[in-house]
């Protein structure tokens, strides 16, 4: 069986435009959530006016201005994160087989801001004013498309769209592509930029978002008894996955090994997880079985941890079922407490954080955990990061439509 390792990482998040800044903020418990600045949320009478926005992002620093003008924001975020990951990996593009290098970068919603803007132009000024670049800038697979063009990767090129599980599915699918021998290198991850009037209104009206508008940085509070919904975020996370021998041959540094992947469906409800946690239980069991890892070997879970009343309770129930007594020895945390829920990018950014946890031996905290829910009684690393050696870690993502994904990462051993 071909082994797959992580040799590069990149990120654009509400707390940083790169991995170092993001990681520094996460381990120091800094929140990137604030009142929305990209547009005036009050002018739309929105019940929610807060989000985890990417701040001070100037795409012209990273992308040709002419090209950037034709790209949706989710594509820009993905390209910047991919450039960081490729540079971090040290890959010499002239010395690898580009036919065996591929891309899977997914998104949950895609170019929502472009859809809103172009629809307004259509209604106010007529069809001739709709941009000819509208479709190729905003369709979901364009992040993968642009990234493959940027680096000349001619291998598998596809896009995952599975709501909040997108990033995790993208990394898992890329892992399997390499494992079965269809590629040697994959750029994998997720990206999202849906903090728009329509995006906020849609999630707010289905009562999914926190309405703690007066305390933005305390609004996302996974596993806390006073949680009242998630906070939308935006950004991108990208990982370079590589076949082990290919990585060793070129002397690559190795962050961690990807050893397991699970994917299941609830077949229960379009937005709510099943109350018995069936899908979440089975996806973690599948990932652990794929990894050939016993539950007792897992040190840390990067939780989906959305800060919604039902999700956090169900995820906790699933962890208890899968890990039994060991569940109370596990360290668990949700970085959504600091950056919000990045939707299609969430699982990828969380995979980056999980890899950093293994590399550094530091577990980022779940901030705002001030009044623990009695039904959420595990160790969620409240409020402050801890130093803790992590050899095996699980990263979970659960999405609307009842789609579930889990990854298992392991400290690399030759």
- Asked whether the beta carbons of 111 and 74 are under 8 A apart, the reply is yes
300-302/4-12 β-pairing: unpaired
Within 10 A of 379 (CB to CB), how many other CB atoms are there?
15
Query: Which residue among 17, 169, 246, 304 is the active-site one?
Result: 304
Q: If you ran DSSP here, which 8-state letter would residue 56 be given?
A: S
* Contacts with 132 (C-beta within 8 Å, 6 or more apart), sequence order: none
Structure-derived torsion over alpha carbons of residues 33, 38, 44, 48, reported in degrees to the nearest 10: -10
- Concerning whether 164 is annotated as a catalytic residue, the answer is yes
* Contacts with 335 (C-beta within 8 Å, 6 or more apart), sequence order: 26, 302, 349, 350, 353, 364
Residue located via tokens 């010395």 = 95
- Concerning whether 304 is annotated as a catalytic residue, the answer is yes
**Host H or E run for residue 288:** helix 278-291
Task: Give me 313's structure tokens.
Answer: 């309770």
How far apart are the C-alpha atoms of 400 and 273, rounded to whole Å?
8
Query: Which residue among 17, 159, 164, 246 is the active-site one?
Result: 164
Query: Which residue among 17, 159, 341, 376 is the active-site one?
Result: 341
Alpha helices in 324-368 (DSSP H): 336-339, 346-360
- Asked whether the beta carbons of 355 and 255 are under 8 A apart, the reply is yes
How far apart are the C-alpha atoms of 391 and 388, rounded to whole Å?
10
Task: Give me 52's structure tokens.
Answer: 């985890």
Per DSSP, the residues of 164-195 read GGHHHHHHHHHHHHHHTTS-SEEEEEEEE---
- Concerning whether 169 is annotated as a catalytic residue, the answer is no
Report the SS3 class of residue 382. Answer: strand
> Looking at the annotation, which residues are catalytic?
164, 304, 341
């Amino acid at each position: 069986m071909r082994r797959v390792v992580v040799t590069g990482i990149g990120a654009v998040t509400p707390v940083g435009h790169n991995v170092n800044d993001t990681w520094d903020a996460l381990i120091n418990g800094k929140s990137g959530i604030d009142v929305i600045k990209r547009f005036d949320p009050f002018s739309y009478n929105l019940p929610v006016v807060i989000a985890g926005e990417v701040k001070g992002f100037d795409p012209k620093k990273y992308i040709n201005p002419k090209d950037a003008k034709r790209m949706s924001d989710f594509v820009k975020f993905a390209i910047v994160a991919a450039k960081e990951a490729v540079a971090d990996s040290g890959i010499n593009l002239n010395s690898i087989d580009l036919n065996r290098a591929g891309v899977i970068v997914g998104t949950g919603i895609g170019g929502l801001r472009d859809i809103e803007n172009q629809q307004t132009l259509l209604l106010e000024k007529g069809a001739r004013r709709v941009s000819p670049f509208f479709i190729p800038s905003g369709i979901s697979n364009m992040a993968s498309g642009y990234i493959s063009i940027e680096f000349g990767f001619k291998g598998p090129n596809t896009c995952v769209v599975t709501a909040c599980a997108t990033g995790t599915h993208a990394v898992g699918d890329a892992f399997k592509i390499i494992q079965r021998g269809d590629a040697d290198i994959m750029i994998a991850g997720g990206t999202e930029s849906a903090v728009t009037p329509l995006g906020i209104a849609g999630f707010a009206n289905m009562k999914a978002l926190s309405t703690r508008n007066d305390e933005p940085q305390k609004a996302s509070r996974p596993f806390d008894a006073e949680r009242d919904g998630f906070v939308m975020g935006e950004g991108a996370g990208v990982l370079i996955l590589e076949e082990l021998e290919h990585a060793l041959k070129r002397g690559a540094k190795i962050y961690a090994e990807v050893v397991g992947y699970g994917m299941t469906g609830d077949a229960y409800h379009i937005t709510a997880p099943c109350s018995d946690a069936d899908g979440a239980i089975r996806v973690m069991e599948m990932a652990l079985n794929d990894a050939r890892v016993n539950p007792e070997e897992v040190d840390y879970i990067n939780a989906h941890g959305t800060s919604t009343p039902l999700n956090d309770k169900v995820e906790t129930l699933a962890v208890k079922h899968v890990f039994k007594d060991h569940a109370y020895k596990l360290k668990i945390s949700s970085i959504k407490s600091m950056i919000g829920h990045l939707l299609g990018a969430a699982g990828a950014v969380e995979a980056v954080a999980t890899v950093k946890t293994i590399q550094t031996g530091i577990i980022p905290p779940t901030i705002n955990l001030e009044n623990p829910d009695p039904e959420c009684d595990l160790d969620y690393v409240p409020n402050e990061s801890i130093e803790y050696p992590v050899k095996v870690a699980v990263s979970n993502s659960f999405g609307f439509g009842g789609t579930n994904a889990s990854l298992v990462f392991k400290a690399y051993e030759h």
